[in-house]
Chain A
């Protein structure tokens, strides 16, 4: 399947607590109602009449499979990356990294300073980003006048990681320190008084972003299965044929009950 669908994706939000209780091949209740609310509002707004109503098909959540949107800010949507080398993830801290082959035939400078070590030519580009959970978001596509929605798990914005620069800087710093130490030589011996402190007193209690960062740094990347564009997975996700034996879900509640459900947190007494 292609993951580069951000141009045509149609995000429809719904009550997050409800979106977890789907059954396979069922059309989802909240969405049907949402449609009707839209209609109602449209009716009120006479300048914008309802032209056509189309059925919504809601695809089920597939367990053990995630549907993520990867965004590459700074790269036009038309220019897809189709030379993915590896895809990796840190499952706990939800960092995703994808490396792509660099086209060394065009605009590639082998003499560039980070390429000086020819044995270690940079030939892949690593994109990194954080997966952000977006409950109540769907990917949709229109097929045969039917809107097919698949629940979306995460969104990530991937940016070039340029880790080799950091590595290089760190290396140089280390070298400098070593140099400095060597040039200092063995100076006069200093008497250092040492006190023993329990480690709990001195170790900083990390919290918030620092803690997240530490967890992420400590965690190792694991391979993440990449379903390429040509895969059949895409079809299975959006295929209407797999949802032949569909049941039409009718709502039991009224519009008012539904709206009240939606605003139950904000309504003033």
Chain B
């Protein structure tokens, strides 16, 4: 579809970047974005401005424009920016006053809150740059300032810029110093300009708050259990204060309201009466309208309440109040409890402050109506798994929940402190509350830090404990870090065996990647965002409500029950605000306001015909994506727009403002007709896709020709692409990470995709283009094993470096002693001893030296008596004991970097980075980009490998049996396109649903004198004879995966044993034994090798000699039976220690196992 004109040889994109440096028309904002600047050059991707612009093929240009504005992690940044700029102020407003119980006149009032900026200054406070925080194990944070007003005696004093704590800052958010930084500034700060940001640095580690998927809040969800015959409508109300769930359920075909803090189910009619709808007629009208079938279903509900003799609102409230179970400090009357229940407890997100419960009554009536509808027609239930019913919770929202909790705690602590001081009868000085505010400021800082670094989100006010919210940002490769930023984890239990939540939902088209999900237990529960998605932040409701009334919505408070259901209800975030008689007109007017920028572009509006409702959503966490608007069967984006986009005269936002493109969320998509291609346009079509390949996410976008592959293969590649070793970032050599894998000579793929260019994978690739021959060779290629060419390995194929960090802290002790680093020790020849060979005179390893197993690279010494008191004057000068950091590994390493610094608690911090360079060896794992993994089975001399007419030898030989069952046709096409690209001197495209066409590629092959199918005639390297078949031969991009033999190889003859069982330890890291498990045991038994069995299971494991008394059958010791008090029948024998342990444990439980011995022979 998109790009065919790659045939002219000078148009390869690789040749472009340096050519036209002088022709930049860029604006200031584009200055730091090279990938976008390319768009502004006269020739971009082989097309010049003079070329005829074809909208159908060039509208993909909107994509880089979108990503320039949005970026791949924009959702995180947006959310965090919203939190620090808007949400913080809202939280402050909601908790603005601290009052004292003692002095009624006293108050402290918060006026304003800012992060990282004082009220006086125009610029951000200078904060420690992020890379320094990484290296020094600090937290990248900025101070939180508040302005307060408080009383001091009779005076009211205002104080600005009071620091109440520090807020961890998300990298590249608007509070970060990298915000808007140019490439050169980024380089100065040791940051990679391609790094997307969106994570935090807490105590030196990069932490990501994963996107959490949840069922949408404050919306009615109707579900039915057909077996039990239950229909229920539930709504999870979420406010700043509390979270609660209200149900309207059927029980024996009658409808009840259920709530956690109401002890039993209450008839819905009674609740409606309590909410002031005392007339049965009105209840009937509200719930059922004129519909006779609904009325028949509902009418039974009146009976129960009538029998109870409840007619008035007061009676109903008192009844309700008697059922409420709440803990209160103050006793309320039942009537008051009832009012409180209706006003605040039930459907808590609609809080009533006055006497008018109408809104609430309507909401409950609507819930009842939805239940009645579902009783009548079981299809009228909602789907929990539908993406439109989901909301994504991002870093900002989670931070705001946490901050509010901490801030409340801060205020209560502050208040307690104030009360304590004010209660003192005669104070010498006038009380200054600010003196006590600083004491608690550490709580907010450490609370935020702890939550992010441990991932435990504990919110007291919701009584919520959530673990595993944050993860360490995976820096295995650029793509793994990027993949992590787009990941969405679901709150759903992994163990439950329901398929619904895991299944691919049709509604996730274009919103969530269809391929990128892990295999196994988290399959379908962990998802990834597609390339062009945006996640909304909260928008204000009130202006939208007013606007709705302006364009003809009739206010709900004016509508009487009889007329309610004759028109379409207008719902704002799930709550009815009015009705409209002309829904189509209303919706189209609203949309036209949105398209002209009069309303935020992220507000969605759609009609639901089944419910006779128009829904408007302004809440945050909805997934949406941009689409081209179509009117009268014509795309609004014309070629001149794209031309202007290319010339840099238009930005993506201009497209939004001009009403050419708009964001649709999942619900609104259902209200539209969206054409995939321009050729599909007709008069009914409302929208056009920008590019179909955006159904995939960033990670799946790496796969060339994924539309030719069997779908699970793409999923496998998504998992493996994250394990590929490659370039991590431009600052990879400045980083000191726990474990870092780097490829020595990474290459960009011959067959690229549009996504690869958009996410800059071509600048930080992870893999190499290998020449692959698909043939059988040597027999060491069975089961997907690969044959590698030794000469290729010598040239650097698959070579990688492994960098490992070791951190040493020089502690200070309370008695003024501290750890020191001692120098090296020398032998009699004045040469350093073997263990200290790599040490320098400072006692630290010298950069560049080799360390072997057993050698020391930090010669740390701890004081011999660190616990003595300070009084001991001698303590400060005591001798030290050596506790060196020794290198232990099968292969030697080289010292790459040594860093010494001071952490945040004044202790010296030494980080040593050790480097190993590894070349591929037998058993190392490789994979292509099509889910085809394999290990190296043999490394063959180049002389023995086959070669073609040109003398080209393969780097990798792959067994053809890998193809038939896997059906990875994309890999074959990648080979042909790659081969054509090599011959042609161009990079070819394998973009999903597009890319270079196979026919064109074959044409190039034929033109260059090759077979159209990519097969070559090869000659055997051993015999020199021509091979009997034509061999499929060409370049395929291969990734080296992180699983390497060197990290896994393990053997043990003798070694450590577990203390309790005396059996060998488990695992490589503990030098463990290799287990002869149950299945192996069964084999040995079946074979009859009883002596082998005895040796494996006992003698080589935990043989133990015990004294058994043959008389009583119990175990004694030292040849003495303690129960028989004799040595007469004691026999020595060998049993496993675990068996002895079992007998003793049974004895301790009052079970006496007795051994009866008999002769073996």
Contact of A263 among B353, B547, B549 (CB under 8 A): B547
Inter-subunit contact B312/A210 (CB<8 Å): no
Assuming the contacts A93-B355, A165-B315, A209-B344, asked whether A73 and B557 have C-beta atoms less than 8 A apart, the reply is no
Q: Which residues of B contact A13 (CB under 8 A)?
A: 549-550, 555
- A213 interfacial by beta-carbon distance below 8 Å: yes
Q: How far is the CA of A12 from the CA of B580 in the complex (A)?
A: 13
Report whether A130 and B356 are in contact in the complex, using a CB–CB cutoff of 8 Å.
yes
A268-B355 contact in complex given A11-B555, A162-B312, A210-B343, C-beta closer than 8 Å: no
User: A165 and B355: CB pair below 8 A?
Assistant: no
Nearest CB of chain A from residue B643's CB, rounded to whole Å: 26
Report yes or no: B554 in contact with A159, Cβ–Cβ below 8 A.
Answer: no
| Inter-chain contacts of A125 with B (CB < 8 A) | none
Which residues of chain A are near B278, meaning CB under 8 Å? 159-160, 162
Q: Give the contacts of A174-189 with B (CB-CB under 8 A).
A: none
For residue B638, CB closer than 8 A to chain A, the reply is no
Q: In the complex the two chains form, is B599's CB within 8 Å of A263's CB?
A: yes
Which A residues are in CB contact (< 8 Å) with B1123? Answer: none
Min distance, Cβ A247 to any Cβ of chain B, angstroms: 26
Q: Known: A71-B560, A74-B281. Contact between A212 and B355, CB under 8 A?
A: yes
Tell me if B670 is interfacial: C-beta within 8 Å of chain A.
Answer: no
Structural contact, A166 and B599, CB atoms closer than 8 A: no
On chain A, the residues within 8 Å of B550 by CB distance are 13-15, 262
Docked Cα-Cα span, A263 to B599, in Å, equals: 7
Which residue on A lies nearest to B314, using beta carbons?
Answer: A166
Determine if B780 is an interface residue (Cβ-Cβ < 8 Å).
no
B312 touches A130 (CB 8 A): no
Does B852 sit at the interface, judged by CB under 8 A? no
Quick check: is B332 within 8 A (CB to CB) of the other chain? yes
Partner of A268, one of B342, B589, B597: B597
User: Which chain B positions have C-beta within 8 A of A63?
Assistant: none
B339–A259 touching, CB < 8 Å: no
Q: Is B330 within 8 A of A204, CB to CB?
A: yes
In the assembled complex, B351 has its CB within 8 A of some CB on chain A: yes
| B385 contacts across to A, CB distance below 8 A | none
Chain A minimum-CB-distance residue to B278: A159
A3-23 interface with B by 8 A CB criterion: 6, 11, 13-16
Which A residues from 140 to 170 make CB contacts under 8 A with B? 155, 157, 159-163, 165-166, 169
- When distances are taken between beta carbons in the complex, the residues of chain B under 8 Å from A204 are 328-332
Contact B279 A209 (CB under 8 A): no
Kindly report which residue of chain A lies nearest to residue B331, judged by CB atoms. A204
* With A93-B355, A262-B550: A134-B598 Cβ-Cβ less than 8 Å: no
Per-residue CB contact flags for chain B residues 789-830 toward chain A (1 = under 8 Å, else 0) read: 000000000000000000000000000000000000000000
Q: How far is the CB of A168 from chain B (nearest CB, A)?
A: 10
Contacts of B311 in A (CB 8 A): 162, 165
Chain B residue nearest in CB terms to A16 = B546
Q: Which of A137, A163, A202 contacts B330 (CB 8 A)?
A: A202
A216: Cβ under 8 A from any B Cβ: yes
Q: Is A267 an interface residue (CB 8 A)?
A: yes
| Interface size counted on chain B using CB atoms at 8 A | 53
**Which residue from B279, B336, B593, B599 sits with its C-beta under 8 Å from A74?**
B279
Q: How far, in angstroms, from A61 to B981 measured CA to CA in the complex?
A: 80
**CB atoms of A263 and B355 under 8 A apart:** no
Say which residue of B352, B540, B598 sits within 8 Å of A208 (CB atoms): B352
Q: How far is the CB of A110 from chain B (nearest CB, A)?
A: 19
Query: B315 is contacted by which of A160, A166, A202, A216 (Cβ under 8 Å)?
Result: A166
Residues of B within 8 A of A160 (CB): 278-279
In the assembled complex, which residues on chain B have CB atoms less than 8 Å from the CB atom of A162? 278, 311-312
List, in ascending order, chain A residues with CB within 8 A of B330's CB.
202-205
Residues of B with C-beta under 8 A to A71: 560
Q: Mark B593-611, 1 if CB is under 8 A from A, else 0.
A: 1000111110000000000
Known contacts A208-B344, A210-B336; decide if A263 and B555 are in contact (CB<8 Å). Answer: no
A74 touches B282 (CB 8 A): yes
Please state if A95 and B315 are interface contacts (CB–CB under 8 Å): no
Residues in chain B near residue A130, CB distance under 8 A: 354-356
Measured between C-beta atoms, what is the minimum distance from A114 to chain B in Å? 10
Docked-complex contact B557 and A134, CB < 8 angstroms: yes
In the bound complex, do residue A263 and residue B598 qualify as a contact, i.e. CB atoms below 8 Å apart? yes
Count residues on chain A whose CB falls below 8 Å from chain B CBs. Answer: 47
Set B282, B312, B355, B558: member contacting A213, Cβ < 8 A: B355
User: Which residues in window 918-973 of B have CB below 8 A to A?
Assistant: none
Q: Mark B339-377, 1 if CB is under 8 A from A, else 0.
A: 110111000000111111110000000000000000000
Q: Does B562 contact A (CB under 8 A)?
A: yes
User: Which residues of B have CB within 8 Å of A260?
Assistant: 598
A155 and B339 contact, CB distance less than 8 A: no
Q: Hey, what's the 0/1 contact readout for A193-221 against B, CB within 8 Å counting as 1?
A: 00000000011110011101100100000
Tell me, in angstroms, the Cα distance from A255 to B1089 when the chains sit together. Answer: 98
When the two chains form the complex, which single residue of A41, A210, A268 contacts B599, counting CB atoms closer than 8 Å?
Answer: A268
- Which residues of chain B from 149 to 187 have any CB-CB distance to chain A below 8 Å in the complex? none
- Residues of A within 8 Å of B340, CB to CB, are 209-210
Residues of chain A within 8 A (CB-CB) of B1020 are: none
A233 to chain B minimum Cβ distance, whole angstroms, is 22
**B589 and chain A: residue at smallest CB distance:** A41
A91 CB within 8 Å of chain B = no
Q: Is B898 in contact with chain A by the CB < 8 A criterion?
A: no
Q: A132 touching B561 by the CB < 8 A rule?
A: no
Please report which residues of chain B, range 1068-1088, place their CB below 8 angstroms from some CB of chain A when the two chains form the complex: none
Encode contact with B along A48-73: 1 for CB under 8 Å, 0 otherwise.
Answer: 00000000000000000000010101
B989 to chain A, nearest CB (A): 36
Is there a chain B Cβ closer than 8 Å to A266's Cβ? yes
Most buried by B among A15, A130, A161: A130
* Bound form: Cα–Cα A229–B1086 in Å: 106
Supposing A169-B315, A216-B355 touch, asked if A268 and B601 sit within 8 A by C-beta, the answer is yes
Given known pairs A157-B358, A157-B560, A210-B343, the reply for A267 and B279 (CB within 8 Å) is no
Determine the chain A residues whose CB is within 8 A of the CB of B329 once the complex forms. 204
CB distance from A105 to the nearest CB of B (A): 23
Q: How far is the CA of A193 from the CA of B1100 in the complex (A)?
A: 77
B344 near A155 with CB under 8 A, answer no
Q: Which residues of A contact B381 (CB under 8 A)?
A: none
Cβ–Cβ contact A159 & B549, under 8 A: no
Q: Is the CB of A73 within 8 A of B282?
A: yes
Q: Which residues of A contact B555 (CB under 8 A)?
A: 11, 13, 134, 137
A14 / chain B contacts, CB cutoff of 8 Å: 550
* Contact A266 B558, beta carbon cutoff 8 Å: no
Q: Do B343 and A208 touch across chains, with their CB atoms under 8 A apart?
A: yes
Rounded to whole angstroms, the CA-CA distance of A134 and B330 in the bound complex is 36
Are B549 and A136 in touch, CB under 8 angstroms? yes
Q: Which residues of B contact A11 (CB under 8 A)?
A: 554-555, 558
CB of B276 within 8 Å of the partner chain: yes
Contacts of B352 in A (CB 8 A): 208-209
Nearest CB on A from B269, distance (A): 15
Nearest-CB residue, chain A, relative to B549? A13
Contact B276 A159, beta carbon cutoff 8 Å: yes
A69-B558, A267-B598 given. 19 additional CB < 8 A pairs? Answer: A45-B585, A74-B279, A74-B281, A93-B355, A130-B355, A162-B311, A162-B312, A163-B312, A165-B312, A203-B330, A204-B330, A209-B343, A213-B355, A259-B598, A262-B547, A265-B542, A266-B598, A267-B597, A268-B600
**29 A-B pairs in the complex with CB atoms less than 8 angstroms apart:** A13-B550, A16-B546, A69-B558, A71-B560, A73-B285, A134-B557, A134-B558, A136-B549, A137-B555, A155-B558, A159-B277, A159-B279, A162-B311, A165-B312, A169-B315, A204-B330, A205-B330, A208-B352, A209-B342, A209-B344, A209-B355, A210-B343, A213-B336, A216-B355, A260-B598, A263-B599, A266-B540, A266-B599, A267-B597
The 8 closest A-B CB pairs, nearest first, are A204-B330, A209-B343, A265-B543, A263-B598, A74-B279, A266-B543, A13-B549, A268-B600
- Seen from chain A, the residues whose Cβ lies within 8 Å of a Cβ on chain B are 6, 11, 13-16, 41, 45, 69, 71, 73-74, 93, 95, 130, 132, 134, 136-137, 155, 157, 159-163, 165-166, 169, 202-205, 208-210, 212-213, 216, 259-260, 262-263, 265-268
